Amino acid sequence: MNRYLAIDIGASSGRHIVGWREDGGLRTKEVYRFPNGAREEGGHLVWDVEALLREVKNGIGAAKRTFSDIRSLSIDTWGVDYVLFQGDRELLPVYAYRDSRTEDVIAQVHEKLPFSELYRRTGCQFQPFNTIYQLYADKVSGRLDKATDLLMMPEYLLYRLCGVRAREYTNATTTGMVSAQTGEFDEEILKALGYPKSLFPKLSRPGTVLGEYEGIQCVLCATHDTASAVEGIPMEGNEPYISSGTWSLLGVKTPKPMTDPASEKANYSNEGGVGYNRYQKNIMGMWLVNELQKELCPDRPFGEIVKAAEASACQILVDANAPEFFAPASMKSAFDRAAGHRLKTEGDYFRCAYRSLADSYRAALEELERNTGTTYGRLYIVGGGAKNTFLNRLTEEATGKQVIALPIEATALGNLKLQMENIYKTALPAGRG
C-alpha cells in the first residue's frame, strides 16, 4: 500500500499526517505534532529555521516508525516569509511576517510603484508584511546586496531535505510580485524596485517531484497552506470558504484574477490555485481569542471560554481588522481602547471577540458577492475555527448563509491529495498564463 506524508506547518504549530487510500476513501493518521512560533531577537521577530527543520525531521522519523511504506512527502506553510542565501549559506536572521521592519519602507516602494499599479499587475492585496515590502527592507539594510538566492519557507525546508531548490507557484503569488497575466514573476516590478532577477526564476507547479529524503520522494504540493486547504474541502459546487486559523482566509474560486478598482478598494487578493484563481481576503482570525486567552486566563480551557462568552450579554462590536489588533503588547488593552473600556468580565471580552469576527466575515462576504456579481447560499469553514460551534452559529446569524463547518485537517488533506495525484500541473487559471 502506498502512503503519503503531509507536513502542514502554521504560525503556531505543525503537524505530520500520513494518508492512504482504503475502501474507496482517504484515511489519515496524525503521527507527530509540534509547537511553532516566532521569537524575539535583537528587537525583531524571527523564525528559528533550524528548530523547524529538526521538528520536520523528527516527524518524518515518527511517520517511518509507524508506517514503512511512505512513498512521498510534501510541506506546506504560511506565505510571504522567506530565507535568503549567500551561496550555500543562509543569511540570518529569517524575519517573521509580524515583525515591524517594513513600516518605514512601504512608502518608498509605493513611490516607485504606486499600489494601484501593483494591484493592476498582480492582484495581490495590500498587507504590510507582503514579501515585496520585506525585500525592500532587506535592500535598504544592505542584506539584499549579499543575496544570491531566495526560497520561500516550505521551499527552504524541502531543499534542506532533498537538496533541490524550487519555487512553487501558489506560494509565490503571496509575494506581491507575480503577474496576474503570465503567472510568473513580473520583471517590470523587479526592475523598478532593483531586485536581482536571478532571485526569481521560473515557477514550478504543484505535483513536481524534487528529489528524495531517506528513500521518500519529496514533492511540491500547493505549498501555500490556504491553497492546499481549498484543495482539501469536499465542496459541492463553487461556494465561498473560510480557512480559519490564526488568520481567516475568506474567498471563492474564480476562473481568472480580478484586478478591477472595486477589488482593489475592498483589498481582495488573487492567489494561485490548482487550475483556478483564489479570490480571497486575509482577515482577522483566532489570533484575537488566542491572545486574550493567554493574557486573561491562560489555564482556562477553550470549552469554558466559549461557555463564558455564550453566557455574556455583551453586544459590543469592534473592528476586528483594525491595526491595533495586529500585534499589540496587550490584547486586553487593545480591546479596552476599542470598546471604550466597557468590557467588564472575561466572558464580555471573548463574546466581543467572537461577535466581531463573525461581523467581519459578514462584511467581507458582502464585498465578495458585490465584486463577483454572485449571491451564494453556503459558506464552508475549515481549519481550527470550524470546531467552534458558537462562532459558527454567530457567523450563520451575521451572514445569513448556511454555514457548513468541517472540523477537518483540510490543508493536510489537500497536501495529500496533490501528492496522490502526483501530476505535473501545467494548466494555469485563465489570466495566469
SS3 content of the chain, % helix, strand, coil (to 5): 40, 25, 35
Angle, in degrees to the nearest 10, between helices 49-66 and 153-162: 60
* R_g of the chain computed on alpha carbons: 21
pLDDT, residue 327, reads 85
pLDDT, residue 11, reads 87
Pairwise CA distance, residues 127 & 416, whole Å: 29
The kind and range of the H/E element at 211 are strand 209-213
124: helix, strand or coil = coil
Asked if residues 205 and 425 have their Cβ atoms less than 8 Å apart, the reply is yes
Quote the pTM value. Answer: 0.88
Active centre residues (catalytic): 225
Q: Which tens digits make up the pLDDT trace of 88-144?
A: 999 999 999 989 999 999 999 999 999 999 999 999 999 999 999 999 999 999 999
Q: Identify the residue whose cell numbers are 523564525.
A: 47
pLDDT, residue 248, reads 93
Asked if residues 183 and 272 have their Cβ atoms less than 8 Å apart, the reply is yes
pLDDT, residue 418, reads 95
| Residues with pLDDT less than 70, the chain | 422-433
Q: Which domains does the chain have, with CATH numbers?
A: 3-223 (3.30.420.40), 233-417 (3.30.420.40)
Report the Cα–Cα distance between both ends of the chain, in Å, rounded: 37
Pairwise CA distance, residues 167 & 215, whole Å: 22
pLDDT, residue 282, reads 87
pLDDT, residue 433, reads 42
Provide CB contacts within 8 A for 222, sequence distance 6+: 76, 168, 170, 206, 228, 231, 272, 273, 274, 414, 415, 418
Q: Identify the residue whose cell numbers are 482566509.
A: 249
CA dihedral 250, 252, 258, 260 (to 10 degrees): -50
Task: Give the DSSP per-residue string, 145-196.
Answer: HH-SEEEEHHHHHHHHHHS----BHHHHTTTT-B-TTTSSB-HHHHHHHT--
Residue type for position 152: M
pLDDT, residue 245, reads 85
Q: Could you tell me the three cell numbers for 82? A: 522567506
